[in-house]
Structure 1
Amino acid sequence: MNALTFLIRIILASFLNFQARVASQFVPPNFGEEGAWQLLQENIGISAMHMQLLRNDKVIMFDRTDFGPSNLSLPGGRCRMDPSDSALTVDCTAHSILYDIPSNTFRPLMVETDTWCSSGSVLPNGTLVQSGGFNDGELRIRMFTPCWDQGCDWLEFPNYLLERRWYSTNQILPDGRIIVVGGRKQFNYEFYPRNPTNNLTQAFFLTFLQETTDPSENNLYPFLHLLPDGNLFIFANTRSILFDYNQNLVLKEFPRIPGEDPRNYPSTGSSVLLPLDDNKPCTEAEIMICGGAPQASFKQAQQGTFIQALTTCGRIKPTDPNPTWVMETMPMPRVMGDMLLLPTGDVIIINGVASGTAGWNHGRQAVLSPLVYHPSTRQFTMMSSASRPRVYHSSAVLLSDGRVLVGGSNPHMKYNFSSGVEFPTDLSLEAFSPPYLSPEFNEVRGRITSTTCNSFLGYRMVCDITFTVRNYMSAREVSVRLVAPSFTTHSFAMNQRMVVLNLVGVTHVGAHTYYATVVGPSSPQIAPPGFYLLFLLHAGIPTTATWLQLL
């Protein structure tokens, strides 16, 4: 490594750590045992249907282009010319923004084609690849590369996709490719970038997707999770498989989830891969799926009858020789809830309604209280209630300071701000601060000051993480984990992942200063290459994260 490259890495690491420390200043002081809510922006101009946290602590958000004009103008007199748009052929408003966490500001971005109900993944270099959408956007690839100035914006590549992708799901793979699976009336999958050694003229047919489609199309946005053996867990409707995407081969079908009620759009439940522990010689994987709606809910909602959503969650270990579902019961029914991994390894379930389904005005009884689920004890804890309902087309992502950013909610075919509707379109942004951010934990809360890997971590690479803490307890109270930020839309956080790193030991190096020696992930199947949030927990309380690129 030459001197210039080394200097650039040091500057980048220092800047990212500075950003993370600044971001933590926005944590609200009004804490109880159930966490705290904070309004960040009353009006960002768009409804945040899709969200992705980027490596420079900015969040890209977008909705769709055929809503009509948004509440945010494009800068410099720019306009989108789209003769195929069903609302406006000339549109001078933005339908995407870039939100800066430390400054709590945002700026408009330009999308040219319809991103409605699309999908996304971040490449190992930090570029967001966003796929598909509706109408003129269904075959598009769009790319957004984060930058430190005001110059970055969307780039679009027409007709790159082999099949129309509307309501499809993406997953980053161990080799850095992205697999794009399914979509409305699409029983196939394809890859980005295209592999020149494979057949470029057609996508790969997957019978499972056709078999799991019913008249309500309950297999849209299938749940995808990359397992430690490199294969995919795919869940659609009520069924799930272990899938070898390289051989186009179903290796195993798992038992149906008990109850036979669908969990995918429009019976929109949510799913998460529970934290992977890289300390174990054979890494175990466990999937959790929560909420959804009974089979008849979508049709009944269309006729004005709103059936109570599901109260159940299912957990399954696809890495077991004979996997079975273990069922849990939530304190309340929920459909359209977002499941996110918190730095503690707990799962927050946030947003959604208690009756009905996804779809235009098909949900009722907004659920305002998030739940935090503790996988080790299998218990749910109810959190402080939000003041605003987040229903259809809402979204949420984890931030580097440990807060959960929440936005969106537009259950209408167009923007509708009328007080005469059940749920007006919401253009605000809020943050939920879980209980671990309470000031009462400041004595045991660590702060990462530097790493010997200088923001770049290799597989099985040893790295020392220097941290300070006022009241150090013991090495047994320290844990280090990587979190892959998600692309969240329609109640599924694509590519979300947590890996608990192998902790070699903790060394005291000065007054209130320690370093934790950890080993990088054992394989790209455990953690695909890319940018991760690195959190250090002391006494169960997480630091603000620093960014590391896993190479």
Structure 2
Amino acid sequence: LTTSSSLKTSSLIRSTCLSYQETNDKGIENNLYPFVFLNVDGNLFIFANNRAILFDYVNNIVVKKYPMIPGCEPRSYPSTGSAVLLPLKNLKAAAIEAEVLVCGGAPKGSYLQSLKARVMGDMILLPNGNVLLINGAGSGTAGWEQGRDPVLSPVLYQPDNNTGSRFEVQNPTTIPRMYHSTAALLRDGRVLVSGSNPHAFYNFTGVLFPTELSLEAFSPKYTIQVVINSDKVDESSVSVTMFAPAFNTHSFSMNQRLLVLGNEKVTAVGNSMYNVEATTPKSGNLAPSGFYLLFVVHQGIPSQGIWV
């Protein structure tokens, strides 16, 4: 599998002051740890506080300013929500749609399906295109000792469902995952969950939420093992996805993206085995150089991922 790159390049390293990052009270620091995504046109989508821009980092130009979010309340640290670039589809189209989902943070905005409030949650793309929202607190803010009311139940966001039925609450954990917790997608489709340390140092006793060193694995429902015998596979229900692994801090998984390659040909090779052909994107704006986990997905159930 190969991809060709058409990324923008700049020979100069420059700093740029972006006025949209300003806050009414700079001591509140609601513009720290912005959510940044490489857009399909090669520009950067940057969200901080309650505003977002599209930024041409080569020419130091703000290409577009987006409207403030409803309620005008902050969503980035320490009013920490999270954000994710939803799966990119129709990669051969002349115009490819990119959509960013921002969840959690300050206590105003749109509430869907009576979900529990959440701050410091992590959003993880799953191989089948769904999004897992996990970890965090129900009140307070990020930072030392400021979070309360742990949110123990993850939530699954299903972007292809109708509005009003996209969120599905999952089984709860028993371990609070507060400030400095994290989550990461594994090759087998599970999500590794770890951390929680709302203290300036490790503190295991005499505090409301002790430093947590344990690991958990969240298993989405597609990991349930079943055996189904069928003479024919519905080719329209088969797709190939590529997941760019993330590096995470403060409830934001940077570099994370999922490309839906679809399928061009599904061929039976016998003994319930099939070959699936798919084409990777031709642009580095869609698939920046690096390692990816490649999955074959059938009716929402992914295979084991392989590194490419």
Tell me the TM-score normalised to structure 1 length: 0.52
Q: Which residue of the partner structure matches residue 362 of structure 1?
A: 146
Deviation at residue 174 of structure 1 after TM alignment: 6.0
User: Aligned Cα RMSD in Å?
Assistant: 2.2
* Contact in 2 for aligned 1:482/1:534 (Cα 8 Å): yes
Structure 2 match to 1:137: none
What SS does structure 1 have at the residue aligned with 2:291?
strand
Secondary structure, aligned partner of 2:76? coil
Alignment of 1:63-212 (within 5 A): 175=7, 197-198=11-12, 203-208=14-19, 210-212=21-23
Structure 1 counterpart SS, 2:236? helix
Q: What secondary structure sits across from 2:287 in the alignment?
A: coil
* Aligned ranges 1:106-505 → 2 under 5 Å: 175=7, 197-198=11-12, 203-208=14-19, 210-212=21-23, 214=25, 215-277=27-89, 278-294=91-107, 312=110, 328=112, 331-377=115-161, 378=163, 379-418=166-205, 420-440=206-226, 442-443=227-228, 472-505=232-265
Cα offsets for 1:205-262 (capped at 9, x unmatched): 2223542473311011100011110111100100000110000000110111001110
For residues 265 and 276 of structure 1, the distance between their equivalents in structure 2, rounded to whole angstroms, comes to: 26
Gaps of 5+ in 2: none
SS in structure 2 opposite 1:531? coil
Matched residues in 1 for 2:60 and 2:24: separation?
Answer: 19
Count of aligned residue pairs for this structure pair: 301
Alignment-mate amino acid for residue 198 of structure 1: L
Name the CA distance, whole Å, in 2 between partners of 1:475 and 1:349: 30
**1:373-422 residue CA offsets vs partner (Å, 9 max, x unmatched):** 1111241111010010000000001111100001010001111100x311
SS at match of 1:436: helix
Q: Secondary structure at the match of 2:264?
A: strand
CA contact (8 A) 1:352 1:367 kept: yes
**In structure 2, what is the Cα distance between the partners aligned to 1:389 and 1:471?**
46
Q: CA offsets, 1:282-320, max 9 Å, x none?
A: 2110010000024xxxxxxxxxxxxxxx5747xxxxxxx
Q: Which amino acid aligns with 2:178?
A: V
Is the 2:82–2:120 Cα contact (8 Å) retained in structure 1?
A: yes
Q: What do residues 91-146 of structure 1 show as CA deviations (whole Å, max 9, x unaligned)?
A: xxxxxxxxxxxxxxxxxxxxxxxxxxxxxxxxx9xxxxxxxxxxxxxxxxxxxxxx
- Any idea what SS the aligned residue of 1:493 has? strand
Please state which structure has a larger fraction of its residues in helix: 1
Q: Does 1:506 align with 2:263?
A: no
Q: Per-residue displacement from partner, 1:334-367 (whole Å, max 9, x unpaired)? A: 0000011111101110000000000111010000
* Uncovered stretches (5+) of structure 1, i.e. residues with no partner: 1-123, 125-172, 178-194, 295-309, 314-327, 445-469
**Amino acid across the alignment from 1:406:** V
Given that 2:7 and 2:42 are in contact with CA atoms closer than 8 Å, whether structure 1 keeps it comes out as no
Q: Structure 1 478/236 Cα, relative in aligned 2: closer, same or farther at 3 Å?
A: same
